[in-house]
Structure 1
Amino acid sequence: MIKCPTDSLPQFRPFWTGFRVPLISHRGLGHTEVMTSRGVVRSWDVGGMQGVIDSADTPGGSWTSWTSVVVHGFPGLVEGQEVEFEWNQLDEPADGYDFHTVQAWPVGEDHTPPGPPGFRAWDIDPDGTVHEVTDLDITDLDDTIAPPIGTPAIGVVTTWNGEEGWGVIDSADTPGGCWTFYSALHPDEVINARPGDSFSIGGGISALVVGEQVDFEWEPVIDQDGYKFRAIKVRPRRDIPPWRVERIGR
Structure 2
Amino acid sequence: MTDRVRGVVRLWNADEGWGVIDSPATPGGCWAFFGGAAMSGYVSFEPGDVVALEWEAPGQDGWPFRAVRFWPWGAEPVTRASGGSGAYRSTLTLTFDEPDGDR
* Equivalent-residue separation in structure 2 for 1:57 and 1:117 (angstroms): 33
Count residues with an aligned counterpart: 94
TM-score by length of 1: 0.35
The answer as to whether partners of 1:69 and 1:105 remain within 8 angstroms in 2 is yes
- CA distances 1:4-49 after superposition (whole Å, capped 9, x unpaired): xxxxxxxxxxxxxxxxxxxxxxxxxxxxx43321110000001101
* Equivalent-residue separation in structure 2 for 1:197 and 1:112 (angstroms): 24
Match of 1:157 in 2: none
TM-score by length of 2: 0.79
- CA distances 1:203-249 after superposition (whole Å, capped 9, x unpaired): 4xxxxxxxxxxxxxxxxxxxxxxxxxxxxxxxxxxxxxxxxxxxxxx
Match of 1:50 in 2: 18
Match of 1:68 in 2: 36
| Equivalent position SS for 2:92 | strand
- Matching residue within 63, 81, 90 for 1:199: 90
Larger fraction in helix: 1
- The ranges of structure 1 where at least 4 consecutive aligned residues each deviate by more than 3 angstroms after the TM superposition are 114-118
Offset, 1:69: 0.7
Q: Which amino acid letter does the alignment assign opposite residue 58 of structure 1?
A: T
Offset, 1:117: 4.2
- Matching residue within 51, 60, 74 for 1:94: 60
Identify the structure with bigger relative contact order (alpha carbons < 8 Å, sequence gap 6+). 2
Written as runs of structure 1 = structure 2, the 5 A alignment for 1:148-167 is none
- Matching residue within 81, 106, 120 for 2:72: 106
- CA distances 1:65-90 after superposition (whole Å, capped 9, x unpaired): 00011112212222110001100111
For structure 2, the residue ranges without an aligned partner over 5 or more in a row are 95-103
- Matching residue within 1, 4, 7 for 1:39: 7
* Equivalent-residue separation in structure 1 for 2:84 and 2:90 (angstroms): 16
The answer as to whether partners of 1:52 and 1:62 remain within 8 angstroms in 2 is yes
What is the root-mean-square deviation of aligned Cα atoms in Å? 1.9
Q: Which amino acid letter does the alignment assign opposite residue 113 of structure 1?
A: T
Q: Which amino acid letter does the alignment assign opposite residue 77 of structure 2?
A: H
Identity percentage over the alignment? 31
- CA distances 1:105-142 after superposition (whole Å, capped 9, x unpaired): 111112131444433xxxxxxxxxxxxxxxxxxxxxxx
* Equivalent-residue separation in structure 2 for 1:109 and 1:95 (angstroms): 28
* Equivalent-residue separation in structure 1 for 2:83 and 2:18 (angstroms): 19
* Equivalent-residue separation in structure 2 for 1:47 and 1:114 (angstroms): 20
Change (3 A) 1:116 1:94: closer
| Equivalent position SS for 2:45 | coil
Pairing 1:59–2:27 present: yes
For structure 1, the residue ranges without an aligned partner over 5 or more in a row are 1-32, 120-194, 204-250
